Amino acid sequence: MKAHLHYDRHFTVSELDRRVFGSFIEHLGRAVYGGIFDPGHPTADENGFRRDVIDLITEMNVPVVRYPGGNFVSGYDWEDGVGPVGERPARLDLAWATVEPNTVGVNEFANWARAAKTEVMMAVNLGTRGPAEARDLIEYCNHPAGTRLSDLRRSHGVAEPHAFKLWCLGNEMDGPWQIGAKTATEYGRVAREAAKVMRWVDPSIELVACGSSNSKMATYASWEAEVLDHTYDQVEFLSLHTYYGNPDDDTANFLARNLDMDRFIKSVVAICDYVKAKKRSAKTINLSFDEWNVWFHSRGADQKRERWQEAPPLLEDIYTMEDALLVGAMLITLINNADRVKIACLAQLVNVIAPIMTETGGRAWRQTIFWPFAHASHWGRGTVLRPSVVAVDRHDTRDFTDVPAVETAAVLNEETGELALFIVNRDLKEAVETSISLGALKASRITQHHVLSDPDLKAVNTAAAPDRIAPRPGSGAAVETTAPGSTVTLRLAPASWTVVVLEVSGV
């Protein structure tokens, strides 16, 4: 099979916002307790946070982490998680039918984020609570001093404000499973009023309104339009969430699911711009794809679990090689939509549908999906170039037609003079002879070439075999330079993820 693609330095999508490589920690299962926080662990720091887990997160280069939920946030009283730990109440968490001890709250999480070199994307509860509690939380977190709540924070040992910049106005408020679910009218009104008072407390914040929980919701599209009708002038972003699975083991169909993600993004952009036109507004709403991943492996086990446990293993998907390929393809989709997707959060980060797994008190390791994320986050810096596909083999699957065998994204880093190519060959059987012409860019050498593939698409990493699926150095890629620029040729193994980084001139 063959693929021929063309990139041109002057045909760009946009600058890539680093925040598309965000992630998510919810008070859910073992994400916090037994995941990032494990005071008895040999690597725990003075605050009880696992250093080995922080090291893996640092390796993933995660610029922002959404917190504390998720469904959890819609029943959360943030006041339970501040002040002396011994005085904090344990509570029933109705979202996940567990017990929340409140040992970790907003101040502990801010400490953790500092240690993990990441920013906090804070969510407020618009399920059981409303604008008043949202403005209280932002006063507690972001106001310097001299008021009841800022001084309360200072009395809790946090002298400087956290200065959290990014705030989510609730979570999945259209979902019947959500505590305090709302109609678009109810949510739109509450979100607007919460946004107003939060911004009056701190005008420097950026706000995300909830879009639909996924594109299959009955109210999808009308929800977005109505919510934006109410909130357009008050928010910067609208959220999207999606999870994909392969429960019927149709891998060809599964590996095409990022095309659905692409369609979803483009439709939500269209809705945002429809409301923009309707309002004759000069402002553009961008997208926060703040939950995305593969999620299906753990659903059966979770249904059998006993209720009201503290930090039980929940949503602990063990990811396969093929999951890593779809995650790679989804990353490519997010990158290629960088003109409107400015924030995205891989959901989630540790233990719960996560690239990092831990044993409570024991080992930590990288799941298969860790690798495409870490690669894209590490080398995906700069300007996204617009792909133009000259020729590529295509096939049909159960739900998709004209599926290209190869997906690519190219990011040009003007500062370092490097061009990063991210490529998925989703053909399950055949290698693809690929040529990528770079317009007038001249490539002097290949500085990185990594490949993730395995003949067993169901292979996984475990505590005992943590590197069963790990990238290996690629070989055989070549650069040919004739006027006006270079062409890269390489053979993509069947069902593979590839990263090639080139040193380029003509930037």
Under rule CB under 6 A, residue 69 binds ligand AHR: yes
Cβ-contact 82, 140 below 8 angstroms: yes
Q: Residue 327: in which H helix or E strand, if any? A: helix 321-336
Q: Which residue type, as a one-letter code, is found at position 195?
A: A
Q: How far is the CB of 302 from ligand AHR (least distance, A)?
A: 11
For the chain, how are helix, strand and coil distributed in percent, rounded to 5? 30, 30, 45
Mention every residue, 6+ apart, whose C-beta is less than 8 A from residue 456. 321
Q: How far is the CB of 71 from ligand AHR (least distance, A)?
A: 4
Under rule CB under 6 A, residue 100 binds ligand AHR: no
Q: How far is the CB of 290 from ligand AHR (least distance, A)?
A: 9
The contact pattern for ligand AHR, residues 458-497, with x = CB under 6 A and - = no contact, is ----------------------------------------
Distance, in Å, from the CA atom of 313 to the CA atom of 309, rounded to the nearest integer, reads 10
The contact pattern for ligand AHR, residues 412-441, with x = CB under 6 A and - = no contact, is ------------------------------
Q: Which residues are 6's β-sheet partners?
A: 388, 437
In this chain, which residue has its C-beta nearest to ligand AHR?
Answer: 70
Distance, in Å, from the CA atom of 196 to the CA atom of 441, rounded to the nearest integer, reads 47
The angle at the Cα of 265, spanning 261 to 266, to the nearest 5 degrees, equals: 120
Catalytic choice (79, 119, 236, 291)? 291
Instruction: State the SS3 of 146-162.
Output: CCHHHHHHHHCCCCCCC
Residue 106 is encoded by which pair of tokens? 């907003």
- Count CB-CB contacts under 10 A for residue 230: 21
Q: Which of 102, 171, 242, 320 binds ligand AHR (CB under 6 A)?
A: 171
- Which residue stretch of 64-72, 197-205, 224-232, 251-259 sits at the interface with ligand AHR (rule: CB under 6 A)? 64-72
Residue closer to ligand AHR by CB (options 243, 274) is 243
Under rule CB under 6 A, residue 71 binds ligand AHR: yes
Q: Which residues are 442's β-sheet partners?
A: 505
Cβ-contact 245, 326 below 8 angstroms: no
- Which residue stretch of 3-11, 67-75, 124-132, 332-340 sits at the interface with ligand AHR (rule: CB under 6 A)? 67-75
Residue closer to ligand AHR by CB (options 71, 102) is 71
The contact pattern for ligand AHR, residues 285-314, with x = CB under 6 A and - = no contact, is ------x-----------------------
* CB hemisphere CA count around 460 (13 angstroms): 13
Cβ-contact 53, 359 below 8 angstroms: no
**291 tagged catalytic:** yes
- Which residue stretch of 41-49, 68-76, 187-195, 278-286 sits at the interface with ligand AHR (rule: CB under 6 A)? 68-76
Q: Which of 31, 134, 287, 347 binds ligand AHR (CB under 6 A)?
A: 347
Q: How far is the CB of 5 from ligand AHR (least distance, A)?
A: 34
Surface-to-core class of residue 296, CB atoms within 10 Å of its CB (0-12 exposed, 13-18 middle, 19+ buried):
middle
Site size for ligand AHR (CB under 6 A): 9
Under rule CB under 6 A, residue 172 binds ligand AHR: yes
Instruction: Give the residues lining the site for ligand AHR (CB under 6 A).
Output: 26, 69-71, 171-172, 291, 347-348
Which residues carry out catalysis?
172, 291
